[in-house]
Amino acid sequence: MLYQLPLAPKYGELSNERLCAGIADFKRRLGSRLVILGHHYQQDDVIQFADFTGDSLKLSQLAAEHHEAEFIVFCGVHFMAETADILTHEKQTVILPDLSAGCSMADMAHIDQVEAGWPLLEERAEGPITPITYVNSSAAVKAFVGRHDGACCTSSNAKMVMERAAAGFLEEEPALKVVGLRYFNVFGPGEAHKGTVYDPRFPDGGLSAAQVRAAQVFLWKGHCSVHQLFTTRNVEAIRALPEPYAILVHPECEWAVCQGADRVGSTEYIIKTVREAPPGSFWAIGTEVNLVQRLARQHPDKHVRSLAGIQCLCTTMYRIDLKHLYWTLENLVGGRVVNRISVDPETRRWSRVALDRMLALRPAQPVSAR
Ligand code: 13P
Ligand code: SF4
């Protein structure tokens, strides 16, 4: 994880009103030179300044489409800003307002672990293997996947990508086995047994040669520290309430929670589902608290609550705040770039291969992960 140096004390002394007025003024002065992208988990204070909001797939597409903007300020986490840098023109500058805004899940697959484990896996698997990485991964891991004829996926298109990978991205070389570089609930109910968990903390991923030979899909062990907070007990507690709550969760929740839910999908899917739900309907949502609270505020005619009794906050997303956005834009107006996220050309080239495959397989509209 990168480290953000503390801002000068003067930024801490500015009121929210001053910060908001300043940001609005900097945005006006930068005009079309600037695009601000905001992930749905950003706090309301920040999201109000986003030109576009989205889930990680939509934001990747938006970054790729905005050729005109000289500066893309990414209000999200580090891997998202890296992805934006890979997908934009080299002349465009991508900025992350707080460098410490990382992702615990992305940190669970280090490129050194991936490179160390791969040769033995290939040797023992007795056939070609296609690597798939969840987009919550470093550019280095994405580049590895691109170099090995694999693809990235997001919560919006993970199932499509995995199915396509099983059929083979390269027609002349159909994949026999797939390595999903993240433990992630991409399969339909009852299909969890298809995955063999590869745990990088153990030699050979903790797998015997026979297990590797028998496996069809390897799942890299990792998880989202926020979504893991939702439990089957939460599901049972909601089911025990007298109100007819439907349970709607993000696929980063653990497998058993997804199994117990009524619907599973990306942040964009969650938003669409609540928006289209009839007035008076009841929703218990298993995802990051900023999004759940925003949905509750935006839909007062519906009953929206978190699936858990506790606040499931993505603390790294939360690092992007008004102060850091103000500081970033103030510097841009003054002709200085701070916190540039820049991926080296070789990594960029190969991670682009994996990302382009992800972008080619996108659903027409947000769909359930099941
Ligand atoms: P989405 O693709 O649904 O936005 O999820 C990204 C993420 O990191 C959620 O934790
Ligand atoms: Fe990463 Fe989880 Fe935060 Fe998403 S919610 S950015 S997966 S730590």
Considering only CA atoms, which residue is closest to atom 6 of ligand 1? Answer: 56
**Residue 27 C-alpha from the chain's centroid:** 26
Domain with CATH 3.40.50.10800 in the chain: 9-104+316-343, 227-306
Instruction: Give the ligand 2 atom nearest the CA of 41.
Output: 5
- State residue 188's pLDDT score: 42
Task: Tell me if 136 CB under 6 Å of ligand 1.
Answer: yes
Task: Tell me if 55 CB under 6 Å of ligand 2.
Answer: no
- 126 alpha carbon – ligand 2 mean position (Å): 35
User: How many helices and strands (H and E) does the chain possess?
Assistant: 15, 13
Instruction: Give the ligand 2 atom nearest the CA of 224.
Output: 2
- State residue 39's pLDDT score: 97
Q: Which portions of the chain are predicted below pLDDT 70? A: 170-194, 364-365, 367-370
Cite the DSSP H helix spans in the chain: 9-12, 16-30, 44-47, 56-65, 78-87, 111-125, 139-147, 158-167, 209-214, 232-239, 255-260, 267-276, 289-298, 322-333, 345-360
* CB-CB contact of 121 with 344 (8 Å): no
- 106 alpha carbon – ligand 2 mean position (Å): 8
Report helix, strand or coil for 299: coil
* CB-CB contact of 327 with 23 (8 Å): no
The DSSP H or E segment spanning 39 is strand 34-39
pLDDT digits (tens, 9 = 90+) for 143-176: 999 999 899 998 888 888 888 887 777 655 555 5
Cite the DSSP H helix spans in 126-157: 139-147
| Cβ neighbours for 337, distance < 8 A, ≥ 6 positions apart | 71, 93, 95, 331
For 41, the token pair is 């988990």
Task: Tell me if 77 CB under 6 Å of ligand 2.
Answer: yes
- Give the closest ligand to the alpha carbon of residue 155: 1
* CB-CB contact of 77 with 103 (8 Å): yes
Q: What is d(CA 186, CA 151) in angstroms, rounded to the nearest whole number?
A: 15
Which among 40, 55, 58, 254 is the best mutation to test ligand 1's pocket, defined by most ligand atoms within 8 Å of the CB? 55
Q: What is d(CA 147, CA 350) in angstroms, rounded to the nearest whole number?
A: 6
Task: Tell me if 178 CB under 6 Å of ligand 2.
Answer: no
Task: Tell me if 155 CB under 6 Å of ligand 1.
Answer: yes
C-alpha count within 13 angstroms, C-beta hemisphere, residue 313: 8
- State residue 61's pLDDT score: 85
Question: Is the backbone of residue 205 left (phi > 0), alpha (psi -120 to 50) or beta?
Answer: left
CATH superfamily of domain region 227-306: NadA-like (3.40.50.10800)
Closest CA to 45 of 331, 262, 349, 317: 317
- What does the CA dihedral 186, 189, 194, 196 come to, rounded to 10 degrees? 70
Note the CATH number of domain 109-220.
3.40.50
Considering only CA atoms, which residue is closest to atom 6 of ligand 2? Answer: 103
Instruction: Give the ligand 2 atom nearest the CA of 316.
Output: 3
The DSSP H or E segment spanning 133 is strand 129-134
CATH architecture for segment(s) 9-104+316-343: 3-Layer(aba) Sandwich (3.40)
- 294 alpha carbon – ligand 2 mean position (Å): 18
The structure tokens 């080296």 sit at 344
For 322, the token pair is 């008004």
Instruction: Give the ligand 2 atom nearest the CA of 39.
Output: 6
